[in-house]
Amino acid sequence: MTTRRVFMMQSVLGASALASGAAMAAAPAMVAETDANAKALAYVADAATTKNAKHKPGMACANCALYQGKAGDVAGACPLFAGKQVASKGWCSAYAKKA
C-alpha cells in the first residue's frame, strides 16, 4: 500500500529525473579529438593548435558552411559529427568557407 508521503517523494524524484534527462538530451556531447571520425578529419577543438597544412589563418568551425551553431555560440552541431557538437573555435580538414 502506497502512502501519500511515499507517493509525493516518488513524484518529486521522478520529475527531477525527467528534468535532468531532458537537460542532458538538450545539450549534445562535444566531439572528442580522439573520436575516430574526428581523427580522420584532423578535427581540433582550437584551430590555433592545428599543424595541418590545409589550415589557413581565419579558418574555424564558426565560419564554416557546415557549422550549424548561431553566431556567438561556443559550440554547435556539424553534420559530419552526427549527434555531437563541435567547438566554434575548432577546425577540421572538411572546412568549407561560409558564403
Task: Return the domain boundaries, the chain.
Answer: 1-27, 31-99
Q: Are 30 and 85 within 8 A, CB to CB?
A: yes
pTM: 0.73
Q: How is domain 31-99 classified at the architecture level of CATH?
A: Irregular (4.10)
N- to C-terminal Cα separation, the chain: 65
71 has a pLDDT exceeding 60: yes
Cα–chain center distance at 83: 8
- Cα–Cα distance, 35 to 17 (Å, whole number): 29
Pick from 86, 81, 99, 98: nearest CA to 47: 86
77: left (phi over 0), alpha (psi -120 to 50) or beta: beta
> What does the pLDDT read at residue 12?
60
Residue with cell 566531439: 31
Query: Percent of the chain beyond pLDDT 70?
Result: 74
